[in-house]
Structure 1
Amino acid sequence: MPALTVWCYGTPLGATAGSVRLRRLEDARALEVIDAIVVSWAPGAHRPRVTRLWPPAEVSPREPSVLVALLRTALRASHDGKALPPDVADRLSATGLDPVILEEVTAHLAPRTSALMVLSGAADLSVVVPAVRQRIVSGEVTLLRADLPADGPERLRTAVGLEPRRPID
C-alpha cells in the first residue's frame, strides 16, 4: 500500500542521518521508494534547503518531484499564515491524503530542524517499523504517516499540477 511518510527531526542534520537508514531499508528490499526528499533548515537561513534523494539519476530519468511540488504548496500556504486554499485541499483529499498532514509538516519545519519526506509503495512493515520506531523512542524523530490508495502516487502528481508519469521505454 502506498504511503506518504514524514520523519521530522529536531536538528538540521537529523533527516540526512535518516536518509542513510532509508537507503538501508531500500537496499534490504523492505521498502519501495517512489520519491524522497530531505528538507533541512540551518540556523540563520531564511528558508529550508530541499535535496532530492530519489530516484537516483543513474537509475531513472529525472522527473519533477511530486514531494517538492507538495512541499512548495504547503509552505506557500503556511508562509502566508493561512490554511491550504480550498481548491488545493479538495485536490489533495481526492488523493487519499488528508491535507492536515501538510499543516503538521510545516508546523514542524522551523530553523534548526529537518524532515525526511518519503513517498513509498510496497513496504515490509515488520522491518520498517522497528527501524523507525527505534528513533521515535529515543525522542529524535516524530513520524507522520498517511496511507494512500493504490493509485495515490499518480493522483498526487496530478493534484500538485505535474504531468502523469510516462512509461520508461
Structure 2
Amino acid sequence: MPALTVWCYGTPLGATAGSVRLRRLEQARALEVIDAITVSWAPGAHRPRVTRLWPPPEVTAREPSVLVALLRSAIGDSQSGDPLPPDFADRLAATGLDPALLEAVTERLVPRTSALLVLSGAADLSVVVPAVRQRIVSGEVTLLRADLPTDGPALLRTAVGLEPSGPTD
C-alpha cells in the first residue's frame, strides 16, 4: 500500500542520517521508494534547504518531485499564516492525504530541525521503523504517516499540478 511517511527530527542533521538508512532499506528491498527528500533547517538560515534523494539524479532531471511541489505549497501557505486554499485541500483529500498532516509537518519544520519525506509503495514497517529510529535519542524523531490508496501517488501528482487533471463533466 502506498504511503507518505515523514520523519521529523529535532536536529538539522537528523534527516541526513535518516536518508543513509533509507538507502540501505531500499537496497534491502524493505520498501519501494517512489520519491524522497530531506528538508534541513540550519541555525541562522532564513529557510530550510530541500534535497531530493530519490529517484537517482539521472531520472530527477526529467521528472519533477511530487514531494517538493507538495512541500512548497504547504510551506508557502503556512508562512503566510493562511490555511491551505480550499481547492488545494479538496484535491489533497482525493489522494487520501489529510491536510492536517501537512500542517503538522510545517509546524515541526523550524530552525534547527530537519525532516525526511518519503513517498513509498510497499513497505515492511516492522523493518523500516526501527532502522530509521536507529541511534536517535528518544524524543528527537517523530513519525507522521498517511496511507494512500493504490493510485494515491498518481493522484498526488495531479493534486500538486505535476499532471493534468482528468476530464471534468
Shared fold by TM > 0.5? Answer: yes
Instruction: Give secondary structure in 2 for the equivalent of 1:96.
Output: coil
Percent identity, please: 85
Q: Are 2:125 and 1:125 equivalent residues in the alignment?
A: yes
CA distance in 1, matches of 2:125, 2:114: 24
CA distance in 2, matches of 1:67, 1:163: 14
- Structure 2 counterpart of 1:94: 94
Report the residue type matching 1:116 in the other structure: L
Instruction: Give secondary structure in 1 for the equivalent of 2:39.
Output: strand
Per-residue deviation at 1:136? 6.8
- Structure 2 counterpart of 1:54: 54
Report the residue type matching 1:97 in the other structure: L
Q: Are 2:140 and 1:140 equivalent residues in the alignment?
A: yes
Task: Report if aligned partners of 1:95, 1:156 keep a CA contact under 8 Å in 2.
Answer: yes
How well do the aligned residues superpose, as a CA RMSD in angstroms? 1.6
Q: Deviations over 1:63-99 (max 9, x none)?
A: 1000000000000110111111111000000000001
CA distance in 1, matches of 2:23, 2:78: 30
Unaligned ranges ≥5, structure 1: 165-169
Report the residue type matching 1:11 in the other structure: T
Task: Report if aligned partners of 1:136, 1:142 keep a CA contact under 8 Å in 2.
Answer: no
CA distance in 2, matches of 1:138, 1:155: 35
- Structure 2 counterpart of 1:22: 22
The farther-off stretch of 34-43 and 57-66 is 57-66
- Structure 1 counterpart of 2:167: none
TM score, norm. by length of structure 1: 0.91
- Structure 1 counterpart of 2:41: 41
Report the residue type matching 1:149 in the other structure: P
Per-residue deviation at 1:137? 6.9
CA distance in 2, matches of 1:52, 1:125: 22
CA distance in 1, matches of 2:64, 2:118: 15
Per-residue deviation at 1:135? 5.9
CA distance in 1, matches of 2:148, 2:23: 22
CA distance in 1, matches of 2:93, 2:137: 31
Task: Report if aligned partners of 2:14, 2:114 keep a CA contact under 8 Å in 1.
Answer: yes
CA distance in 1, matches of 2:60, 2:8: 27
Per-residue deviation at 1:131? 1.9
| Number of residue pairs aligned between Structure 1 and Structure 2 | 164
Task: Report if aligned partners of 1:135, 1:141 keep a CA contact under 8 Å in 2.
Answer: no
- Structure 1 counterpart of 2:114: 114
Per-residue deviation at 1:140? 2.3
Unaligned ranges ≥5, structure 2: 165-169
